[in-house]
Structure 1
């Protein structure tokens, strides 16, 4: 078991978090352990008994946080500022260094009530935990910078929810994440007019999450990093066909890592208006509006940082978001396609041709990228569709070189590996009605196989 140095979050916990205790669950039944993620922090050899003790009963890890920390933050939720939020059903349990030397957090979901629970029970449905496994595994396989679902343990309680059949089974989830500092963490300190703590938090992020010296303008350097990282995140969502569902400012991690999956979905077709959350009545966080939504959240960070830096220095950094996004978007689309870039103008033209073809909704997003992997279309059932609607793509691709080996057996499958709502529901139904976990574990294996075939760079 790893024995890391003193977790750096302890140095800012006085203004960032509150010490809390985990709920005492009736049961701890191990349902999922991510040994691949655990290996990166030295926990892959942990026995199931010790795993349950640490990630179900939350016995402190050696030389780590003596007590979990519930983080304090504010945030804009559907563009309305809310000062009454924070970690209401989760906490930061530990910090560990991974095999790349980065500080990572072990954070929870469903671990019990905290000072920020308001009227919630602090719990997580088992279905919610299963959905988070599927989201994180699929996004990782598609090259999105995402938190990893580290552990899922069933806890033996009956939960009642207004938006799904109840009573339903309960769970506690642990995620491995590159920090849990949100844009809302900075908004809270700005709203409370605490410039010294804002500066301390900016320095913490630069030093311990980015590995940078704060320098003379820590707020400007921080904003520059967040702009670049979140623009890449937005681009990767679009290339993956993913809709997060709730891109509030308290759900945007300043490391640019995607996390906290509630009503997420993958859109089957190229549909800018496709939404994931039933309560997103105006499509604020629809598929096509995600880059705008994330940019808006980063604007809120800039407003908060203006407490400790002149807006004249922050504005040019913020204004770079659209251009950075455009380049990142083209890069993400070409990376999923598996071809080498040829230059900004030519790459943009290829991406526009892909969008035009997909916008006809005659072929799904996953099917298109599967059929054209490596830049050359393989014969199949959609040949006539491609000939009619994707002639511009084929003409553009003739000038591109493949950047991916296509000899992996995955590329000979009849169908691409996808993750649409019908399959999510079928996997959950098997668990709920028959306690059959095989469909989930089989799907995770299939997703990881797809990720290997894509051969994303580390």
Structure 2
């Protein structure tokens, strides 16, 4: 079974103020005509000591953004640059969100409350700083499904409908508005480091490295790693481990993020900031989520390479603090770490104990062939063949000798199978849009969490805090 988040007392810890002078700008939240609570994450409000807030208090903090006790007195819009579809853009930053609060969870981790749709900032450019309600609903579905499938992800913490009409090119307009809060293990991006490197703020760059090592602790580099005592090298090793695991988790989940730019890569290794995501309808490496990704740069099968490319940009940003050789040595670990994570996560989702690298690699290959030939996606494959059942031909031969992870067959005997294909997403949204019926969404979240509980805890990379 999946472990529930540990209950905690509310423990504010505004560690970001140590570096806010060069990382962020104080901003004000927008004033909205209406505040109607639409989603509150009862699984995670307990983990940060906020379960006792009434819904009215909740909306005051996460809709009107009244400061939480002893927390940040004013929201902070973070500054960063980034490669967007591999074109460097220095004109970005938090354009419709801000960091609202920081606190410790029951495991002692430092967590951020970050917003989306909370109004304009110095980095909004020509945008209105708002979020559509449909966008918020999509993020609920993405984060809940990813969490259930063992992907290290931000949590959709709160959604408040705000009563404005928004016009968008990619939605029937006018459309409803919302403000969302995500609970995330930090919001420090690769793009945060890129900005400091480009601006030659090397002292600030070193301080940011130190902050990340303290806020997101991880294991030391391997014993034979060159420069293993240098802070920048240590951080790159840790981030390499985390992002290799993240890449594998996307592939095993059959998830296509859609916009894997460097400003969407979190140093903590946590997936966040979801836009035009999709789940695979069938195993197709060329499947692309974003309609504007016309070259397929971030297609499903290219995601590991895209994440590795982003990691190279992180190493370049750290170059003022370390020599090339130890940084290159850290980057070279990505491929082997990704392969290990693929096999580890694949066997976990299939519900079988690993049998060693050679056999596990053959199992992954046989499964991919099976999915292509049967024209099914990972959701159907893993459910159909959980614990090795109903396998035929090459897949059955490859699975011979594999043992179930546990004696608990609840995942498939109870009929627990969930998917998140685009047709169902649109159906759930239509119920809200046309009839203001939120029950199908709530039922879907309940079903996804039940599946996650049956799957159990996913194996994580050592680099995760």
Q: TM-score range by the shorter chain?
A: over 0.9
- The equivalent position to 1:358 in structure 2, one of 362, 371, 377, is 371
Choose 34-43 or 149-158, whichever is displaced more. 34-43
CA distance, structure 1, for counterparts of residue 373 and residue 295 of structure 2 = 23
Residue in structure 2 matching 1:200, options 201, 207, 213 = 207
Contact 1:19 1:70 in 2 (8 A): yes
In 2, Cα distance between equivalents of 1:363 and 1:282: 24
Partner of 2:265: 252
1:139 — aligned with what? 146
Contact 1:206–1:213 (Cα < 8 Å) also in 2 = no
Distance of 2:213 and 2:316 partners within structure 1: 18
Is 2:303 aligned against 1:290?
yes
CA distance in 2, matches of 1:370, 1:315: 40
Q: Is the 8 A contact 1:61 1:94 kept in 2?
A: yes
Q: 2:108 aligns with which of 101, 116, 123?
A: 101
Deviation at 1:427, TM superposition (A): 0.4
Moved more, 226-235 or 329-338: 329-338
* Whole-Å separation in 1 of the counterparts to 2:11 and 2:171: 41
The answer to whether the 8 A contact 2:10-2:49 is kept is no
Residues 400-411 of structure 1: matches in 2 within 5 Å? 400-408=402-410, 410-411=411-412
Query: Aligned to 1:440, what secondary structure does the other structure show?
Result: helix
The 2-side partners of 1:362 and 1:277 are apart by 22
Find the aligned partners of 2:458 and 2:29 in 1 and give their Cα distance: 37
Give yes or no for contact 2:196–2:204 (8 Å, CA) kept in 1: yes
SS at match of 1:392: helix
Q: Does the aligned pair in 1 maintain the 2:254–2:377 contact within 8 Å?
A: no
Q: Which residue in the other structure is 1:344 paired with?
A: 357
Q: Deviations over 1:374-401 (max 9, x none)?
A: 2333xxxxxxxx53xxx22211212111
Does residue 210 of the first structure (1) align with residue 223 of the second (2)?
no
Task: Kindly indicate whether residue 387 of structure 2 is the aligned counterpart of residue 374 of structure 1.
Answer: yes
Tell me which residue corresponds to 1:424: 425
**TM-score, normalized by length of structure 1?**
0.95
Name the count of aligned residue pairs.
Answer: 446
Equivalent residue in structure 1 for 2:50, among 34, 43, 50: 43
Tell me the secondary structure at the aligned position of residue 320 of structure 2. coil
Displacement, 1:363?
A: 3.1
Note the C-alpha offset of 1:210.
1.7
More relative contact order, 1 or 2 (CA 8 Å, 6+ apart): 2
In the alignment, is the contact (CA less than 8 A) between 1:56 and 1:172 conserved in 2?
Answer: yes
Greater mean alpha carbon deviation, residues 418-427 or residues 395-404: 395-404
Classify 1:443/1:162 alpha carbon distance in 2 versus 1 (closer, same or farther; 3 Å).
same
Greater shift, 414-423 or 88-97, is seen at: 414-423
Q: CA deviation at 1:358?
A: 1.1
Tell me how far apart the structure 2 counterparts of residues 367 and 92 of structure 1 sit (CA, whole Å).
Answer: 38
Shift of 1:276: 0.5
Alignment partners' CA distance in 2, 1:282 and 1:211 = 36
The unaligned stretches of length 5 or more in structure 2 are 1-7, 222-227, 460-465
Q: Distance in 2 between matches of 1:295 and 1:443?
A: 34
Q: TM-score, normalised by structure 2?
A: 0.93
Map residues 62-81 of structure 1 onto 2, 5 A cutoff.
62-81=69-88
1:280 CA drift (Å):
0.4
Counterpart pick for 1:177 among 176, 180, 184 = 184
CA distance in 2, matches of 1:31, 1:447: 18
For residue 216 of structure 1, report the CA deviation from its aligned partner. Answer: 4.0
Query: Relative to 1, partners in 2 of residues 1:3 and 1:418: Cα closer, same or farther, differing over 3 Å?
Result: closer
